[in-house]
Amino acid sequence: MKIIIAGAYTIGTYLAKLLSRDNQDIILMDESQEKLDKLGSDFDLMTMNASCTSIKVLKEAGIASADLFIAVTPDENKNMMGCILAKALGAKKTVAKVDNYEYVAPGSADIFEDLGISSVIYPELLAATDINNGLKMSWVRQRWDVHDGALVMLGIKLRETCTILDKPLKDISGPEDPYHVVAIKRDGDTIIPGGNDVLKRYDMAYFMTTRQYIPFIRKIVGKEHYVDVKHVMVMGGGRTAVRAVKTMPEYMDVKIIEADERRCDRLNELLDDRALIIHGDGRDVALLQEEGIRNTQAFVALTGNAETNILACLTAKRMGVRKTVAMVENVDYVNMAESLDIGTIINKKAISAGHIYQMMLDANVHNVRFLMNANADVAEFIPQEGSRITLKAVKDMRLPYGMTIGGLVRNGEGYLVSGNTRINAGDSVMVFCHNVNMKAIEKIFNK
């Protein structure tokens, strides 16, 4: 597959590195040679020091034979123009990163499709969705709903209160139990568990279940003492904060601490009465105490500095806040944040990359997510009639090592998958995979 990426910034470079592992034909272009040089020679891709809005350059890059053109520069106008030109010159699909919520509002997709832009992504809105999913359930690190909650994946940090520690999974998660443990992150390693594996204290365990059994999961992992989030304190009033606050449930009371006075004025205009805007430094312990940090159930750090966000969350935890969320854009800091027991970690480039990655896969693959903490992918596959996955029971399939099936949705209803399950064409099947090429999995679901 030929993929051209315009913009050697955070999302573009992350995506280029990610796709290079799949042996794709990748060209990364940028107007800064310095940015391209920083990639080094460790990744299997070509670079071009050029503008994505040049017809001559796009032709030289072979845009006529490109399967996917991705424009993720900081300039949304350049991204959109690059996509329009790329589509006109023969690219099959195009993706543009935008900074304007209006462009992703309902009803906008057809407008951009007519212009030649197959899809637009607004990273701040994607991040806001993940933030709010984390806040709605204070005891969960990550949550992913499939088909409006017909299936739910929960990433949970296990403590000594968990009642299912140190027991073989075959004894606690059989075919009749309402959950499956699809992956475990332990001491930096990801485990796709078998029946003899056990859960240990401080594991990050990924559970697949259905919505009605979420209270049951909460009970067995010993998180019933976690209070629901009603009072939220946000540090940093950027676009991600605005999107998150605008989409938070009405019952949440929100305070935003912003260091820039002019930005505070702008936040008051944007958010009206939805949040109380406080001018100050979110790292100021006295200010946090004055604004009621000890009566706050969640602290969300969304400044542009990963170190600041991590330290602020640690301070909030020390002051009694149970749920913390940190935006960590530097990939090198993600594992550190996890080791420091920061709660939910938000990385816009990884979230955006998952949405873009889906476009390079077949039409029967949906909702691809990268779980950075687990270094794994989870995706929704829809098997075709006569595909290999439909011919035998799951236990008789020779699935690739590192792949597990968590559940499926059939006729709108979620089901967990056991060894005796027969998968039908048209089912929505949830696949969790670690160190497995997604293209190899596609073959199992295609005719």
**pLDDT tens, 78-111?**
999 999 999 999 999 999 999 988 999 888 888 9
Q: How high is the mean pLDDT in each 10-residue block of the chain (447 residues)? A: 90 81 83 84 82 96 94 96 97 93 88 93 92 87 80 91 93 85 87 90 92 92 88 96 94 96 95 93 92 94 94 93 91 78 86 74 57 68 87 86 86 86 89 76 79
In this predicted model, what pLDDT tens digit does every residue of 266-295 receive, in sequence order?
999 999 889 999 999 988 999 999 999 999
pLDDT at 366: 58
Q: At what angle do helices 261-271 and 239-247 cross, to 10 degrees?
A: 30
pTM, full prediction: 0.82
pLDDT at 363: 47
pLDDT at 21: 66
pLDDT at 175: 75
pLDDT at 138: 82
Residue type, 140: V
Residue type, 4: I
pLDDT at 167: 93
Question: Tokens at residue 231, please?
Answer: 């009072």
Other CB atoms within 10 A of residue 69 CB = 31
* Backbone phi and psi for residue 164, each to the nearest 5 degrees, phi listed first: -115, 25
**CA angle, residues 380, 382, 387, in degrees to nearest 5:** 130
Token pair 């050029």 in the structure block, residue: 50
Question: Tokens at residue 5, please?
Answer: 């990426």
